[in-house]
A and B are shown apart, each in its own frame.
Chain A
Amino acid sequence: GAVVSQHPSWVICKSGTSVKIECRSLDFQATTMFWYRQFPKQSLMLMATSNEGSKATYEQGVEKDKFLINHASLTLSTLTVTSAHPEDSSFYICSAGKRATGNQPQHFGDGTRLSIL
């Protein structure tokens, strides 16, 4: 069964709206979660690393004020796309590993398709 749950799976909203996406680890504690973005027919691009109890680490070129990440508990990380515009439309996916270190695969949520009108 799924070990990482992502909600909502699909969002359509007007330009200028802020949208929050939740990522939950279901049966384990995740001190670190990852947020990815995928454009059509392209690879998954890491946006940021979400660290429980501390600030997220953003990849180069990702606006931290645009994509707010909060990792308030060991099982929940949220990504808020602030003042979303059509160019923010994309598929957003989170992941978490059962262990922060070692050779453990990350488990991914089912993604959120965000469409900004």
Chain B
Amino acid sequence: DQQVKQNSPSLSVQEGRISILNCDYTNSMFDYFLWYKKYPAEGPTFLISISSIKDKNEDGRFTVFLNKSAKHLSLHIVPSQPGDSAVYFCAARWTGTASKLTFGTGTRLQVTL
């Protein structure tokens, strides 16, 4: 049972444009969400997070939006840069599980010149 889903396995965006990565979840107990960036043969790197009490969090070029009623979150990257090309995972947790994360399946972002 995949509780966190990223339905787009890949995304290609032109440099300078906006990248939008989507994530859906089914467990209403999740109260904290994170986005990680991952290169091959490396561990994930934390990008940005959002608590369920908020609907938006922004950090530089990265903005995460949370729609609790739809159980949907998205990561916006603007402007996209070639160095952003990687696999992006969304992850979710709830406070009852002591920081245990449930990951989505990942979206491979390719930023083209």
Contact = CB atoms under 8 A, between A and B. Distances in A.
A111 B34 contact: no
Interface residues of B, number: 23
B105 A93 contact: no
Contacts of A107: 46
25 contacts: A34-B101, A36-B103, A41-B106, A43-B89, A43-B104, A44-B89, A44-B103, A45-B103, A46-B100, A46-B102, A49-B98, A49-B100, A93-B44, A95-B43, A100-B98, A101-B98, A103-B49, A105-B34, A105-B46, A106-B46, A106-B101, A108-B36, A108-B44, A109-B43, A111-B42
Given A91-B41, A111-B42, 15 more contacts: A9-B41, A36-B103, A41-B9, A43-B105, A44-B44, A93-B43, A97-B99, A100-B99, A101-B98, A103-B32, A106-B99, A107-B46, A110-B42, A111-B41, A111-B43
Interface of A: 4, 6, 9, 32, 34, 36, 41-46, 49, 91, 93, 95, 97, 100-101, 103-111, 113
